[in-house]
Structures are given as C-alpha cells and as structure tokens.
C-alpha cells in the first residue's frame, strides 16, 4: 500500500522534531562507520497524477521549510521538486527534478535538465544526495540526482563542480521534515502517490568509472525482486555489493546508515520511523486529506506475506453452539482484506457431513473478519459438531493462504474439580502425568467426538524444583482407539449414546491431596514456591509461575468459559458453607465468561476406605448435598455410587496401579483400573447426559419409602425406586442400616451400632420392587425408626482386603435394569445403583418407616421440568396387573 | 339388575388427566402437578377403586435408556 494526496492542500506528513545536518568533513564512527567521511542521500518512490502536465507550479514532493510558510526558499531549506508540466520558466525543468539541498547545488536550486521528464502514471524511484566519490583521506564531493522507473532504465545527473565547502560544513539544514506538503501553491496535487521514503547518512553506491551513482544499484532498488534500501546498505557496509567499479574502502562499498525510514504503506505503521534518529511522521493540517492506495514500490519492499492463524492450545469451543469460534492471527505485505472458510475435518460427526466439504453457510466470505495493523480476528458462529478446519486467505490474492487450523470443535465443555478421587476418576497417574493408558482399548463410538484436557505437572512439582505446568489436549475421534485413558473414552461414548453428534470436552483440574479451603484461599500448591491454586489468567513461566495458577491458567486456556462444573471432593470438600461459597466465587471470578455456570455435584463414590476415615462417611456426602442446596438453581445432585471398584490392595482409588498384577506398595492383584474407571467413565458420561436431558435414566436412586407390613412391626418393607436386581445371581448383600432414634444414629441391620443387635434378614421381593427386612424376634418401635442403604461405603479394606476380589462382593448390591456401568468381569453390566440418602440429621437421614396400611403415592425423585407421561399399574398381591393408566404429570 | 354396573364418578378437579373407565378395579391419582427437588416429593396419592385388598402400585418402566418415567417412582404404603 502507499499514501496518496486525496484532497489538495488539506493534509501533509511532518516531523515534529528536527535534526540538523552534520559537518560532512568529520569522519564518523559507530554503527557501520569507522573513520568514514560520507555524505547523504534521500530516496522515495513517486507517481504523478493525470493532469500534472497542465500544472505550472514548482510543486514540492519533499523538503524542509524553515520559515514554515510553504515557500521552501530559505537558504537552509532542502527540497525535491517536480515542477508541473506547464511551468513558465525555465521550461527545461517541466516535470523534471528541481533540487535544493541548501547550498549543495550551485545557485539556490539544482535544475536537473539532463534527466528525462517524469511521466504521468509511471512509478519512479527518485534518489538525490551528496556523495564522497574520493576517499576518506581525500574526499571528492559531488551532488547527484537520479530517477529510475520501476522496471526501467536509470538516469542520473551529477553536479559538474564539487559540492561547496559551505554546504559541507553547514549544520543549519534540517535534514528531514515534510512529505507531500500542503501549504501554498507548491503543494503536492491530489493524486500524487508516494511510498518507501529514506534519508541515509552515507554515500550512495558510486560508479567510479562513469562518475555517477551506480546505475546497477538504482536499477536493483527499482526492479521487482531486487534490493531494498536495507539490503543494499547491508551489502554496501559489508563490501559485498558486487557491482563493477564500485568505490571500495574501509571494508565497504561506501557506507550508510538509515536515519529516517518511513514505509508510507498506511497512515499508522507507515508513519513510524525505523531509522536511527527518533521521530515519527504525523498528519499535519486537517487529517483526512491523505488516503491509502495500492502499493507502488517494487514487490521486494512489501512482499507477499501469508496470513497466519495463531494456533490456540484449546480448539474446543464450549457453549453448546451458542458461542462463536474466535481465532486470531497475523497478516502483512500487500494484504488488505481476508476471507475465511470452514470445512469439515477428519471424520466429522455432523449429520450428513463429509470430510473436506464446506460447512453450509461458511464458504469463502469476509464476514466475521476484522483486520487491524497486521492482526486479524475471525469470529464464526459454528453449529455443534466438528471437527472443523478453518481456512484464511487474502481476498485479493486468493492463492495467498494461511496454513489451515484443524480440529476446531464446538460442543459442551465440563470441568471436573476435587482431589485424588476426581483426579483419578477417568485417568491414571500422578500429578505429573496427563492421561494414563487406554487399557481397555476402548474405541470411540460412531458419531462421538471427545476432547480431553489435563495439565502435565499440574502441581508444578510441588515443593521440589519447579516444573512448568503444560497443557495436554487430546481429540477422541469416532472409530479410533485413543491414547487417553479408558475412563475418558467410556464417558464420551456414554454421553454420545444420549446426545449423539454433540462433542464433549472433559477438563480435569483436580489435584491429589488438596483441600477446597486451600484452593479458595489461593494458597501455594503443595509447597510450590510460586504456583498457586487460583493465580491470574496468565500462562505459567518456564522457571516460575509468574503469577499464574491452576484455575487462572485453565481459565486462560478455556477462554474463561465452561458449560458445567463437576465436583466430587473427599475429604477436601469444606464443612463450612462460607468456604464453599468462597470457592464458588473464586471459580466464577476467573471463569468470567461463565460466572453462573451450573454445578453437578457427586456425593463421593465408594473408594477403598471405611470408618474411622472421615472421608468415607455420609457426613462428607451430606456436605455435598448441602452444597447443592447452597448453589440454588445452579446446583444439581448427581448419583452417589457405592460400587466403584478401587484398585489393588488398599489403594484407595479407582486408579492407582496402572500395571496389571501389582500396586505400588504391595501386591497382589491390580486390574489396571479397568472396572473402577469403567464404571466411573460410563457413570460420569451418563450423569452429564442426564443433566442436559432429565429423561435419561441417570438420576440418583434412593429408597423411596418404608413401612411396617403389619401391626406386629417385625417386618419392614423397603420400597425401591425401580425394579432392582443383584448382579450375576449374587445373594442380596445386607447393606441396609436402621436407626432407632429418628436418624441420629444408624447401624447395619443385625449389628449393635443402632442399639439393636437382633438378627435381621433382608430379602428382595420376586418383582424386584421392594426388600423386606425381617427381625428374628421381637418388634421394632412404632416411631423414630428410619432405614437407609449403603450409608457406609460397603466392603472397605477391613471387610475386603484384596480390592480386586471386592467386585464379587459388590454384585450383591442393588441395581436397576439399565446395563451401562462397567462390563469388565460382569456377565451383565451394572446399571444405576441404589444408594444412600446421603443426609445427616434427625428426621432427614434415611427414610422414615411408616405404620402399616398407609396410602400409596406417586413421587418425583429428582429435579426435572416439563410434561411427562407415565404408566402406572395397580397389581394384586400376586403381582398381576389389575389396571394400567397413563398419567400426565406437569413438573416444575 | 345383573350385569348393570354403576358408572364410576369422575375424578375430582382438573388437576391431572386420568382416563375414566366404567367398572372393574381402578385407581385415582389425587394430583398430577409437582414442584420437584433433588429428593423425594409426593406428586399425589394413589387410591384403589373397586380393587381387592392388598393391591400395590408400580410404574411400568419404559424400555431403553431414557423415558418419561425417569425421575418418578411409586411409594407403596
């Protein structure tokens, strides 16, 4: 691009501070000089507008005007004029150069009459100056002027006599001031175009044989693919310019340093001086009189620069299709406009999509593109799906394209918070490992597309030598077996079963051995010297956190946005509602583009712990339930799973021993986390699916009622929420607890914990819809009796030392008919598990045992809205249906 | 008269759509709107009509992984 006078006499370009000419006789040191005695030269590219031949003024292209009135006639002014083609006198300089370099030329101005006229509409390089054509020890000074049409033949004129000593020693001339002046009638006319301007301290390459500025150099500067001022000077200063008969001295072919260098490619960066003397041009007069037009200088001054898309770490766009994909990048050279196009990438999940085809509505267009000073932003509102490939190209040079940006995905993004139970739910490994292996070789299902994000070195190596946390992102494509842990893959597949063709991103910021209170307080992570739990939205440095933190860095990577927070935190969930509120606020503050994102709260699932380990208790689960209530409309209660398999002997988690056959501290058997992560992966995937569609059978299942069967009160019938079963034909495990003090204390039936050690047997009804608890003798009290199920984590390390063999014990728990949670070692996979009330306190924990003969009721068991059509059956005592009715329930 | 069976009265109010049939065992649902929670909330009571003693109720579960019955259950007395 170049600058053109748009409105005559309105605006020109000027320096606001000036530098005076030096005494040329003084040898220079510093920069490229070492005792060099040199002159100066100025250069620019210019194109005259039509009608120039009719003008009669001594029009100025560039100059210094000491009296500031636009006369350019002060004895210390310098000008480069191109008089109009109808100049009165002298006629021999019509449309030729007329120069004043103070007193360098004899008389005030040099009439360059031997060089051809400057043709209208042709772009010319103009170079004028004073050069030492002799040596540093014995200078021989000559004024010179030269033109060369771009791609054409140079012409030059050299002063017949030596430059005056007055000029050489004079220090009163401003060496640079005005371009395209606006004042008086010598102002550059509208349509005059200029680009690539330079003032150089130095000697232009000189042809010593022809005693003129070297025409090879002039031609090279004015020919496409040739030299720029900078490359010519670099060669001069190195003595490698290579033309014939060059003056060679002191290691150079003449020396030079750009003092002022303006590209004039636009009215912003184009006015910035890249030369050695400080000072930019600015628009003087009334801005707006200059316009930006297409480039006039040869291509090497502003070569074609390919646009480049900045590659973000995270290319998953959350928002479920409501947020645009925003990408940034750079452009340069001759580019003034960019287009974007979006095509489908590899194995797209969108309905009917074909890899490589244009996404409907997103063919080449400038829509969504904003350009500013070499930086572009592209914003496109893509539909849920992907992966998408973004393409960018120059609108006016469509072969000038950016490297496409692949694997952009649009869907639902979730974050899983907590400590080790969450950190190891879907993946194996410590805080310095990202994914863990896909031991089950789970392939991603058809139409599914997943994305997993986890920081390596998420604790920055704690109190040991800092290790930079670095993001690891993995795309899980349909039909492939990804390298990420099988927990992730199973979660994505289960989600996809209910929300097909809707990509899911799972981000896991949870860190082993950390507590919510430390996160909320922005403490240093596990003894790190600089890495904090919250921090700011900056990337961590190579050798220190530099203000970054776990949440801050995730917010930076995720554009401060997530669709849904997941949390399971034991024992680190804080008992204080104030701390929980502080935690929520801290997350919301950094995830500022989703400050009201919902929370799906999982009461802690079973791990290999039991009392007195407080992390295992209903107290901790009750805190999670309380957190849901505190979150109000943002909170949702997810299932508590009493049947997650931990790994190996006393390993405590579903993922602590990645190698089959061993655990870190002792043997004997590890299943490589397959069952545990299998159930959690599928369970978490279904829970997320259920969150967004409450018709999915993934809600928490609890006892819905209990009553004495008759007045003797020696049998309690426990009402189950669905038709339930044990697995693999196992006997019903007795995990029912009874309270005799209205829910303050519970004990497993038949044990002394509730003050009643009478033997009680539990039996699942043949229709699977109730369990009877039968006392061996005596009766329960009429009031204050409550029942719960799996109130304590069943089969902890005391009951079942070898975790790998615990699985068989867990077959005896109760499950609905769904078959999605874990199929390793199971003839029939487990469905949703019956679980505890997860509540603590009199009158709320468990379910009250009612007197016999109470009314039946239809109940809702979770939050849902809308109209539901449910079939209710009335059956006789033999289980035979007597009446079936369709009921429409309106839920809010 | 043999064979003549009294017509069953209509369900009170218009709070839920419950199909009315004539004769035989039947039941009513007292209410069909509910403000749900993350826990158990009674929608309405189920009352047998013309039914033998000892009847219980259940939801006929839909096949498949999702259905309108998700989130609902019956509590028998």
Chain A 819-858, residues with CB within 8 Å of chain B CB atoms: 820, 847, 850, 852-858
User: pLDDT at residue A824 above 70?
Assistant: no
CA angle B41, B44, B50 (to 5 degrees): 145
Beta pairing class for A60-64 and A178-179: antiparallel
Least confident of A374-383, A669-678, A758-767, A880-889: A669-678
Which residues, including other chains, have CB under 8 Å from residue A465's CB and lie 6 or more apart?
none
Mean of the per-residue pLDDT values for chain A? 92
The answer to whether the CB of A736 falls within 8 A of the CB of A749 is yes
For testing contact with chain A, the best of B25, B30, B44, B70 (most A CBs within 10 A): B70
Q: Is A722 on the interface with B (CB under 8 A)?
A: yes
Of A240, A279, A274, nearest in space to A257 by CA: A274
Beta pairing class for A504-507 and A412-418: parallel
Q: Do B36 and A864 touch (CB under 8 A)?
A: yes
For testing contact with chain B, the best of A710, A874, A881 (most B CBs within 10 A): A874
Count other Cβ atoms within 10 Å, centred on residue B41: 16
Q: Which two tokens stand for residue A554?
A: 């995730």
CA gap A889, A482 in Å, rounded: 43
Q: Do A876 and B55 touch (CB under 8 A)?
A: yes
The pLDDT of residue A668 is 37
The arithmetic mean of pLDDT across residues A676-702, rounded, is 95
Which residues, including other chains, have CB under 8 Å from residue A538's CB and lie 6 or more apart?
A546, A547, A548, A552, A553, A556
Q: Tell me, rounded to whole angstroms, the distance of Cα A235 from its chain centroid.
A: 43
Q: Who wins on pLDDT, A373 or A571?
A: A571
The arithmetic mean of pLDDT across residues A342-358, rounded, is 98
The pLDDT of residue A140 is 96
The pLDDT of residue A826 is 67
Q: Do A722 and B41 touch (CB under 8 A)?
A: no
Of A647, A685, A700, nearest in space to A820 by CA: A685
User: So what's the ipTM on this one?
Assistant: 0.78
The answer to whether the CB of A851 falls within 8 A of the CB of A867 is no
pLDDT digits (tens, 9 = 90+) for A181-218: 999 999 999 999 999 999 999 999 999 999 999 999 99
pLDDT confidence tier of residue A295, bands split at 50, 70 and 90? confident
pLDDT digits (tens, 9 = 90+) for A116-164: 999 999 999 999 999 999 999 999 999 999 999 999 999 999 998 889 9
The pLDDT of residue A614 is 76
User: pLDDT at residue A105 above 70?
Assistant: yes
Q: Which two tokens stand for residue A839?
A: 């509540």
The pLDDT of residue A160 is 87
Give the rounded percent of residues in chain A with a pLDDT score beyond 70.
95
The arithmetic mean of pLDDT across residues A729-736, rounded, is 92
Chain B nearest C-alpha distance from A847 (Å) = 10
Q: Do B75 and A705 touch (CB under 8 A)?
A: yes
CA gap A455, A435 in Å, rounded: 9
Q: Who wins on pLDDT, A637 or A777?
A: A637
User: pLDDT at residue A282 above 80?
Assistant: yes
Between chain A and chain B, the number of residue pairs with CB atoms below 8 A apart is 211
Q: Do A856 and B73 touch (CB under 8 A)?
A: no
Q: Which two tokens stand for residue A555?
A: 């917010």
What phi, psi does A488 have (nearest 5°)? -60, -50
pLDDT digits (tens, 9 = 90+) for A498-539: 999 999 999 999 999 999 999 999 999 999 999 999 999 999
Chain A nearest C-alpha distance from B19 (Å) = 7
CA gap B66, B75 in Å, rounded: 21
DSSP state for residue A243 in the 8-state scheme: -
The pLDDT of residue A435 is 79
The pLDDT of residue A498 is 98
Chain A nearest C-alpha distance from B2 (Å) = 22
Which residues, including other chains, have CB under 8 Å from residue A31's CB and lie 6 or more apart?
A257, A276
Which residues, including other chains, have CB under 8 Å from residue A103's CB and lie 6 or more apart?
A75, A164, A166, A167, A170
The pLDDT of residue A788 is 96
Length in residues, chain B = 77
Of A616, A657, A164, A598, nearest in space to A414 by CA: A598
The answer to whether the CB of A707 falls within 8 A of the CB of A716 is yes
Minimum Cα–Cα distance from B67: chain A residue: A695
Minimum Cα–Cα distance from A767: chain B residue: B58
User: pLDDT at residue B10 above 70?
Assistant: no
Q: Which two tokens stand for residue A507?
A: 């981000």
Q: Is A880 on the interface with B (CB under 8 A)?
A: no
Burial class of residue A692 in the structure, from the number of CB atoms within 10 Å of its CB (0-12 exposed, 13-18 middle, 19+ buried) = middle
The pLDDT of residue A611 is 76
pLDDT digits (tens, 9 = 90+) for A359-416: 999 999 999 999 988 899 999 999 999 999 999 999 998 999 999 999 999 999 999 9
CA gap A524, A532 in Å, rounded: 4
Which residues, including other chains, have CB under 8 Å from residue A451's CB and lie 6 or more apart?
A316, A409, A411, A473, A474, A475, A476, A503, A504, A505, A506
pLDDT confidence tier of residue A669, bands split at 50, 70 and 90? very low
DSSP state for residue A691 in the 8-state scheme: H
User: pLDDT at residue B45 above 80?
Assistant: yes
Q: Which two tokens stand for residue A660?
A: 């089959």
Of A578, A857, A658, A630, nearest in space to B43 by CA: A857
Of A92, A98, A186, A195, nearest in space to A143 by CA: A98
CA gap A712, A126 in Å, rounded: 115
What phi, psi does A577 have (nearest 5°)? -65, -25
Least confident of A490-499, A512-521, A799-808: A799-808
The pLDDT of residue A748 is 83
The answer to whether the CB of A103 falls within 8 A of the CB of A78 is no
Of A24, A86, A100, nearest in space to A57 by CA: A86
Nearest-10 crossing angle of helices A577-590, A618-631: 50
The arithmetic mean of pLDDT across residues A733-759, rounded, is 80
Beta pairing class for A28-30 and A33-36: antiparallel
In whole angstroms, how far apart are CA A838 and each of A120, A642, A687, B40?
89, 11, 17, 13
Least confident of A227-236, A442-451, A676-685, B8-17: B8-17
Nearest-10 crossing angle of helices A550-557, A577-590: 40
In whole angstroms, how far apart are CA A633 and each of A536, A637, A689, A784, B20?
28, 11, 18, 32, 38
The answer to whether the CB of A142 falls within 8 A of the CB of A130 is yes
Count other Cβ atoms within 10 Å, centred on residue A31: 14
Q: Do B54 and A877 touch (CB under 8 A)?
A: yes
The pLDDT of residue A656 is 59
Q: For residue A892, which residues of chain B lie inside 8 Å, CB to CB?
A: 33-36
Q: What is the DSSP string of A330-365?
A: E--TT---EEEEEEE-SS--STT--TTSBPTT-SSB
User: pLDDT at residue B7 above 60?
Assistant: no
Place of tokens 């218009």: B14
What phi, psi does A595 have (nearest 5°)? -70, -10
Minimum Cα–Cα distance from A818: chain B residue: B65
In whole angstroms, how far apart are CA A305 and each of A332, A342, A807?
5, 22, 63
Question: Residue A148: beta bridge partners?
Answer: A125
The answer to whether the CB of A412 falls within 8 A of the CB of A688 is yes
CA gap A46, A4 in Å, rounded: 10
Q: Do B16 and A767 touch (CB under 8 A)?
A: no
For testing contact with chain A, the best of B56, B62, B63 (most A CBs within 10 A): B56
CA gap A44, A126 in Å, rounded: 5
Run of H or E residues at A325: strand A325-330
């Amino acid at each position: 691009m170049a600058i053109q006078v748009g409105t005559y006499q309105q605006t020109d370009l000027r320096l606001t501070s000036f530098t005076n000419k030096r005494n040329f006789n003084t040898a220079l040191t510093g920069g490229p000089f070492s005792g060099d005695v040199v002159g100066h030269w100025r250069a620019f590219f210019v194109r005259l507008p039509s009608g120039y031949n009719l003008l009669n003024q001594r029009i100025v292209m560039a100059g210094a005007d000491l009296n500031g009135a636009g006369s350019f006639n002060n004895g210390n002014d310098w000008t480069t004029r191109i008089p109009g083609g109808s100049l009165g006198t002298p006629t021999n300089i019509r449309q030729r150069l007329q120069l004043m370099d103070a007193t360098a030329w004899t008389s005030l101005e040099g009439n360059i009459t031997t060089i051809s006229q400057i043709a209208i509409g042709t772009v010319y390089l103009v170079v004028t100056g004073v050069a030492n054509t002799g040596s540093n020890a014995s200078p021989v000074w000559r004024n010179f002027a030269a033109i060369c049409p771009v791609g054409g033949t140079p012409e030059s004129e050299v002063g017949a006599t030596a430059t005056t000593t007055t000029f050489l020693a004079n220090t009163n001339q401003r060496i640079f001031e005005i371009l395209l002046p606006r004042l008086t009638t010598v102002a550059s006319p509208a349509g005059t175009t200029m680009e690539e301007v330079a003032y150089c301290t130095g000697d232009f390459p000189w042809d010593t044989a022809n005693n003129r500025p070297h025409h090879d150099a002039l031609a090279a500067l004015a020919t496409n693919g040739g030299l720029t001022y900078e490359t010519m000077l670099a060669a001069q200063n190195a003595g490698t310019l290579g033309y014939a008969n060059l003056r060679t001295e002191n290691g150079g072919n003449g020396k030079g340093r750009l003092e002022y260098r303006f590209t004039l490619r636009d009215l912003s960066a184009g006015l910035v001086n890249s030369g050695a003397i400080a000072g930019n041009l600015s628009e003087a007069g009334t801005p707006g009189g200059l316009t930006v037009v297409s480039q006039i200088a040869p291509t090497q001054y502003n070569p074609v620069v390919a646009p480049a898309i900045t590659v973000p770490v995270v290319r998953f766009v959350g928002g479920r299709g409501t947020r645009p994909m925003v990408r940034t990048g750079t452009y340069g050279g001759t580019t003034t406009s960019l287009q974007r196009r979006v095509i489908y990438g590899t194995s797209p999940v969108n309905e009917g999509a074909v890899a490589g085809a244009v996404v409907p509505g997103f063919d080449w267009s400038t829509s969504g593109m904003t350009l500013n000073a070499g930086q572009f932003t592209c914003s496109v509102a893509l539909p849920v799906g992907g992966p998408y490939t973004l393409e960018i190209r120059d609108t006016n040079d469509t072969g000038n394209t950016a490297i496409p940006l692949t694997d952009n995905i649009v869907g639902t993004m979730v974050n899983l918070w907590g400590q080790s139970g969450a950190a190891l739910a879907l993946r194996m490994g410590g805080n310095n490992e990202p994914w863990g292996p896909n031991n089950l070789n789970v392939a991603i299902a058809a139409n599914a597309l997943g994305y997993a994000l986890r920081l390596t070195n998420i604790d920055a190596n704690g109190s040991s030598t800092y290790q930079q946390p670095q993001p690891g992102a993995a795309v899980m494509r349909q039909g492939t077996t990804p390298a990420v842990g099988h927990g992730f893959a199973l979660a994505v597949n289960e989600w996809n079963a209910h929300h097909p063709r809707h990509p899911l991103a799972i981000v896991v910021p949870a860190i082993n051995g950390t507590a919510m209170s430390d996160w909320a307080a922005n403490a240093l992570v596990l003894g790190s010297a600089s890495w904090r739990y919250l921090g700011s939205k900056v990337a961590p440095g190579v050798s220190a956190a530099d203000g970054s933190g776990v949440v801050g860095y995730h917010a930076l990577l995720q554009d401060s946005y997530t669709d849904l927070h997941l949390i399971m935190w034991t024992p680190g969930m804080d008992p204080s509602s104030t701390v929980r509120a502080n935690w929520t606020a801290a997350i919301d503050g950094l995830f500022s583009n989703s400050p009201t994102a919902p929370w799906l709260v999982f009461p802690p699932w079973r791990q290999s712990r039991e009392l007195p380990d407080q992390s295992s208790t209903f107290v901790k689960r009750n805190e999670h339930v309380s957190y849901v209530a505190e979150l109000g409309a943002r909170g949702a209660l997810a299932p508590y799973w009493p049947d997650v398999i931990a790994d190996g002997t006393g390993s405590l988690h579903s993922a602590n021993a990645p190698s089959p056959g061993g655990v870190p501290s002792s043997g004997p058997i590890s299943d490589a986390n397959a069952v545990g992560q299998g159930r959690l992966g599928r369970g978490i995937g279904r829970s997320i699916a259920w969150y967004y569609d409450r018709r999915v059978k993934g809600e928490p299942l609890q006892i819905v009622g209990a009553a004495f069967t008759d007045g003797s009160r020696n049998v309690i019938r426990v009402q189950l929420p669905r038709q339930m079963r044990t697995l693999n034909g196992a006997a019903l495990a007795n995990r029912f607890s009874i309270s005799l003090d209205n829910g303050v204390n519970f004990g497993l039936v038949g044990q002394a914990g509730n003050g009643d050690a009478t033997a009680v047997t539990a039996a699942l009804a043949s229709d699977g819809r109730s369990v009877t608890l039968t006392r061996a003798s005596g009766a329960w009290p009429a009031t204050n009796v409550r029942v719960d199920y799996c109130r304590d984590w069943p089969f902890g390390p005391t009951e079942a030392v070898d975790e790998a063999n615990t699985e068989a014990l867990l077959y005896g728990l109760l499950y609905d008919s769904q078959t999605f949670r874990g199929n390793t070692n199971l003839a029939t996979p487990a469905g949703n598990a019956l679980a505890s009330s997860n509540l603590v306190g009199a009158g709320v924990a468990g379910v009250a045992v009612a007197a016999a003969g109470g009314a039946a009721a239809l109940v809702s068991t979770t939050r849902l809205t809308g109209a539901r059509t449910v079939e209710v059956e009335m059956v006789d005592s033999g289980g035979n249906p007597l009446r079936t009715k369709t009921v429409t329930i309106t839920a809010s | 008269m043999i064979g003549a069976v009294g017509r069953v009265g209509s369900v009170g109010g218009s709070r839920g759509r419950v199909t009315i049939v004539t004769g035989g065992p039947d039941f009513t649902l007292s209410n069909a709107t509910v403000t749900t929670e993350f826990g158990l909330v009674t929608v309405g009571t189920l009352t047998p009509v013309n039914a033998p003693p000892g009847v219980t109720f259940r939801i006929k579960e839909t096949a498949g992984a999702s259905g309108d019955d998700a989130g609902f259950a019956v509590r028998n007395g």
